[in-house]
Amino acid sequence: MTGRRSPGAERWRHPAQVVAAGFATAIAVGTLLLSLPIATESGDRTGLVDALFTATSAVCVTGLVTVDTGSHWSAFGEVVVLGLIQVGGLGIMTLAALFTVLVARRLGLRRRMLAQAETKTIGLTGIGGLVRNIVLFSLVSEAVVAVVLTLRFATGYGRPWGEALYHGVFHAISAFNNAGFSLNRNSLMDYVTDPLVSVTVAAAVIVGGLGFPVVFELLRGWRHPARWSVLTRITLVLTVALLVIGTVATVLLERSNPGTLGPLSGPGKLLAGFFHSTMTRTAGFNSIDTAAMRPESLFTTDLLMFIGGGTGGTAGGIKVTTFGLLAFVIWSEMRGHTRVNVGHRQVPESNQRQALAVVLLGIGAVSLSVLLMLAMTRHSLDLVLFEVVSAFGTVGLSAGITADLPPAAKLLLGVLMFLGRVGPLTLASALALRQRTRRFELPEERTIVG
């Protein structure tokens, strides 16, 4: 005899609810630990709002802070922050893997086999092995970056080996998970012209932000680009394009700004511009003073932060695949094509609708948050927009106003970080899982557009 499901069990059947609850639980535990006196250098309790904000920023791998990480938190507090970053980064990638399999199993056998052939990463079985590979790849990547940074901090800057190791591990985990937390008060500004530190951190950010499906496919088939999936092609092309555009825009707009790139040499400007462009992919480190950037540079950064990084990785934003898919939709419409094709593949209309929903809801969340923030503070529109987009895109770059915000504004940014981290993944999966075949069609009627 089969028993009836309890109302509680029925309520938690949808994966989106489980994901939201899991991240909320991690944030709650982190807030509790960071509220303890042992978590601060002074031995005093951190206020609830600041502890909650830091825990949310760490779990959502954002990097926005209301207190200085290196001076406010004790070693215990810093380890808690690092643990929350690791949980948030690994959690989002493994959840993306689970959702991919879950969505695939809702498809018919033929479509499932096509999806398997297309992604070359998600099989019809073996999710345990996939998650194990994700964790192993993440830990190995972090270890490699930690070794490089440790050696550089010790031999190039005279730090004691213990301190160099601690800083190397902390920044490696923060970089690969696109978190942007730093133990230095000025983030990585002391290394603005150091190619070894800047390029290593940037490489970790890029690899972590590509997404596990793309990384695993490249590891297996990098010699055969003709066989790459649509996901990998869009991700790689747009990643390179946005990195170049961001670098060129930053150098051109800030080259004469005495507060940012002005004092640097030509190669130094290029390195700093590339580093800043990379960080807009939701990493949050800065090697130049972001608060001193010109309004046009802030707006360019806003656009890059909103787009974000790759699907299934540690980056945030609406994702480059979403942006790229909509670009193909517009291009096909301009050319009068009835179908959207990427390479030798046709993109289903359901994917197009999902991408449109993610973008419009993201724009709506940012717009409403900017309006509320303007009502709560006296800061200008460009600074408020920068802070809001950074929170939604889980970037962590700041125009220097986060710590001075009133408690209500900090809570609003916390909600936005949570929405930006959990929202796009759960929304996309929810839309895919809710697909139903309609048993009837309504009469068609065209309307005027534009």
pLDDT at residue 133, as a whole number: 81
Does residue 396 contact residue 311 with C-beta atoms inside 8 Å? no
pTM of the predicted protein model: 0.86
pLDDT at residue 425, as a whole number: 57
DSSP 40: B
Phi–psi pair at 345, nearest 5 degrees:
-125, 145
349-399 pLDDT tens trace: 878 888 888 899 899 999 999 999 999 999 999 999 999 999 999 999 999
Cβ contacts of 258 within 8 Å, gap of 6 or more:
none
Stretch 176-192: mean pLDDT: 94
Q: How far apart are CA 105 and CA 114, in angstroms?
A: 12
Does residue 61 contact residue 421 with C-beta atoms inside 8 Å? yes
What does pLDDT average to over the chain?
Answer: 85
3-state SS, residue 345: strand
Q: How far apart are CA 152 and CA 154, in angstroms?
A: 5
In sign, the C-alpha dihedral spanning 201, 22, 411, 50 is negative
For the chain, percent of residues with pLDDT exceeding 90: 57
Most confidently modeled range among 93-107, 115-129, 327-341: 327-341
Give start and end residues of each alpha helix (H) in 280-406.
295-307, 320-334, 349-376, 381-392
Cross-strand pairs, 29: none
Stretch 231-260: mean pLDDT: 94
pLDDT at residue 114, as a whole number: 41
Does residue 215 contact residue 292 with C-beta atoms inside 8 Å? no
Is residue 262's pLDDT more than 90? yes
Q: pLDDT band at 314, cuts 50/70/90? A: confident
Tokens 């400007």 sit on residue: 269
290-307 pLDDT tens trace: 999 999 999 999 999 999
Q: How far apart are CA 342 and CA 320, in angstroms?
A: 14
209-237 pLDDT tens trace: 888 788 888 888 878 887 788 888 889 99
Does residue 78 contact residue 86 with C-beta atoms inside 8 Å? no
Stretch 81-101: mean pLDDT: 76
Is residue 331's pLDDT more than 70? yes
Q: How far apart are CA 87 and CA 96, in angstroms?
A: 14
3-state SS, residue 352: helix
CA 53 remoteness from chain centre = 17
Q: pLDDT band at 339, cuts 50/70/90? A: confident
